Amino acid sequence: MALKCPECGMVAHARTSAYEAPSVKRSWYQCQNLECSCTFTALESVDTVIMKPWRNERESDKAQMPEKQQQTLNRYGSASKLSSRQQIPV
């Protein structure tokens, strides 16, 4: 992420960051202008949640999924047999 330098207005790149709270992050920036080289911090936080995830539908989808049948997945197991479409005609 990049911000404008508060001193010269050139691009400043984030050097590192750390979370101060679950929704607040402090980032350290350094100006890319060699004559300026200003270093500063900025806070990034969640302002508004625009749309929340649909948790109820996801839980009901999991309940409706059929259980998988166990298969042996080696070359001698049932999963290694060719289907009728894969059979080589003789």
CB count, 10 Å around CB of 17?
15
The proportion of the chain whose per-residue pLDDT surpasses 90, expressed as a percent, equals 53
Number of domains in the chain: 1
Domain that holds residue 9: 2-39
Residue at 77 is within a domain: no
Residue at 11 is within a domain: yes
Q: Which two tokens stand for residue 19?
A: 């979370």
The proportion of the chain whose per-residue pLDDT surpasses 70, expressed as a percent, equals 62
Residue at 87 is within a domain: no
| Per-residue model confidence as pLDDT tens digits over 50-71 | 998 887 765 655 666 667 766 6
Residue at 6 is within a domain: yes
Q: What angle do CA 11, 15, 17 make, to 5 degrees?
A: 120
Residue at 66 is within a domain: no
What's the average model confidence in pLDDT over 7-20?
Answer: 95
Residue at 59 is within a domain: no
Amino acid (one-letter) located at 87: Q
pLDDT band at 19 (very low <50, low <70, confident <90, very high): very high
| Per-residue model confidence as pLDDT tens digits over 76-86 | 555 556 666 66
